[in-house]
């Protein structure tokens, strides 16, 4: 199944997240049934990233958004683990620093946009400035409502410069979020992730859903589409995202760059050095 067609937010579509089942798993019934496909996509992504890195003519930007415990960190660990770290960067967008806050809201995002040949992953992103700031009333509606146009212009500019953009909204239910919070309490390796805000933010769940619905509807475009990823099942989340990324990269026309040296001359030098080395085994 091509989940791009199933899970994409069509441009101009009126989005209702409560009509999208966060437990949807497509044709697969379990992680065991999907494991082979996930592994295949991850392997293909690694091969395609090698072409992207070698040719250095295009770039790829992955945006991950979702409420607390939706699985952004998990996607980064499990979906991108086959890629060459030399060609991948991850930017985590937390509360802006003073320097960042003293610039326009897109300034910090632009600094982390991928260079040609690179994959950049945004763990949260420039969309925080139409989500968190809206829900917490940090800036007036007259300010954040104009940011959709600025975001579309920003992403349009990246695309014109050779960047392919994929944006994923990880969609979980309130019940699943609470269950994951409980798992963090019981797992000493994840206690550090717990914060008071986990529970205070849950009180604003309807406000966040409304903010997400509008943001995705206003900024999902053909050149930079949003996908709503049902994420109650972590394995399906990984399957859908890896499949969408793989299918998209396959359509980018990635290829190895042309050879820029005289291979015949290089081979002659290699064989001469090889013969010299064989005649002098002691170095």
Q: Which pLDDT does position 134 carry in this prediction?
A: 98
The span from the CA of 122 to the CA of 268, in Å, is 47
What's the confidence (pLDDT) of residue 140? 97
Q: Cα dihedral sign for 247, 251, 256, 257?
A: negative
- The two tokens of residue 94 are 């937390």
Residue 14 has what pLDDT? 93
- Domains in the chain: ranges and CATH: 3-279 (3.40.50.300)
- Model pLDDT, residue 228: 98
Say what the pLDDT of residue 230 is. Answer: 98
Count how many residues are written for the chain: 283
Average pLDDT for runs of 10 along the chain of length 283: 95 95 96 97 98 97 97 97 96 95 97 98 98 97 98 98 98 96 85 78 96 98 98 98 98 93 91 81 54
Q: What is the pLDDT of residues 148-168, one digit of tens each?
A: 999 999 999 999 999 999 999
Are the CB atoms for 46 and 254 separated by under 8 Å? no
């Amino acid at each position: 199944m091509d989940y791009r067609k199933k899970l994409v937010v069509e441009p101009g579509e009126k989005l209702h997240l409560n009509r999208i089942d966060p437990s949807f798993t497509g044709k697969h019934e379990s992680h065991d049934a999907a494991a082979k496909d996930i592994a295949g996509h991850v392997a293909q992504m690694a091969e395609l990233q090698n072409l992207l890195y070698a040719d250095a003519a295009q770039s790829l930007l992955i945006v991950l958004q979702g409420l607390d415990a939706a699985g952004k960190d998990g996607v980064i660990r499990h979906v991108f683990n086959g890629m060459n770290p030399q060609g991948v960067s991850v930017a985590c967008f937390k509360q802006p620093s003073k320097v960042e806050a003293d610039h326009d809201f897109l300034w910090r995002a632009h600094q982390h946009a991928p260079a040609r040949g690179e994959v950049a992953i945004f763990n949260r992103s420039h969309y925080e400035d139409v989500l968190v700031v809206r829900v917490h009333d940090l800036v007036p509606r007259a300010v954040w409502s104009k940011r959709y146009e600025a975001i579309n212009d920003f992403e349009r500019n990246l695309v014109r410069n050779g960047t392919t953009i994929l944006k994923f909204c990880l969609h979980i239910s309130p019940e699943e979020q609470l269950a994951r919070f409980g798992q963090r309490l019981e797992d000493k390796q994840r206690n550090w992730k717990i914060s008071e805000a986990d529970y205070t933010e849950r009180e604003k769940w309807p406000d966040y859903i409304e903010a997400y619905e509008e943001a995705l509807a206003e900024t999902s475009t053909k050149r930079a589409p949003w996908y709503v990823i049902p994420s109650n099942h972590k394995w399906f989340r990984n399957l859908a995202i890896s499949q969408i990324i793989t299918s998209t990269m396959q359509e980018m026309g990635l290829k190895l760059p042309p050879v820029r040296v005289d291979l015949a001359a290089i081979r002659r030098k290699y064989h001469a050095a090889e013969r010299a080395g064989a005649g002098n085994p002691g170095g």
